Amino acid sequence: MQRQQVDVDGIELSYLEAGDLEAPPLVLLHGTFWSRVWQPVLDELGKTRHCIALDLPGFGRSGGELDLAAATAPALAGTVLGAADALGVQEFDLAAHDIGGAIAQHLVVHQPARVRSLVMMNAVLLDSWPVPAVERFRDAAVRSTTTVDDLLAARRQSTRAAVGRQLSDAEVEDYVSPWHDEVRVRSWTAMAAAADARFTLDLVPGLVERALPTRLVWGRDDEFQKLEFAQRYVDQVPGADLVEVPGKHIPTEDSPDQVTAAIREHLGG
Q: What are 226-256's pLDDT values in tens digits? A: 999 999 999 999 999 999 999 999 999 999 9
Q: What are 10-40's pLDDT values in tens digits? A: 999 999 999 999 999 999 999 999 999 999 9
DSSP state letter for 69? T
Q: What are phi and psi of 217, to 5 degrees?
A: -110, 120
Q: What are 100-115's pLDDT values in tens digits? A: 999 999 999 999 999 9
The domain spans of the chain are 2-128+196-267
pLDDT score for 226: 97
Residue 128, H or E segment:
none
CA dist 102 → 121, 158, 191 (Å):
12, 20, 12
Task: List the beta bridge partners of residue 3.
Answer: 16
Q: What are 165-200's pLDDT values in tens digits? A: 999 999 999 999 999 999 999 999 999 999 999 999
pLDDT score for 215: 99
2-128+196-267: CATH topology is Rossmann fold (3.40.50)
Report the sign of the C-alpha dihedral through residues 183, 184, 185, 186, in that order.
positive
**Residue 29 identity (one-letter amino acid):** L
pLDDT score for 133: 85
How many secondary structure helices (H) and strands (E) does the chain include?
A: 13, 8
Residue 206 neighbours by CB distance under 10 Å: 15
Return d(Cα 29, Cα 17) in angstroms, integer: 13
Return d(Cα 180, Cα 149) in angstroms, integer: 8
Q: Pick from 59, 66, 74: which is nearest to 107 by CA?
A: 74
Bridge-based pairing of strands 50-54 and 11-18 is antiparallel
* pLDDT at 269 > cutoff 80: no
Q: What are 37-87's pLDDT values in tens digits? A: 999 999 999 999 999 999 999 999 999 999 999 999 999 999 999 999 999
DSSP state letter for 56? P
* pLDDT at 129 > cutoff 80: yes
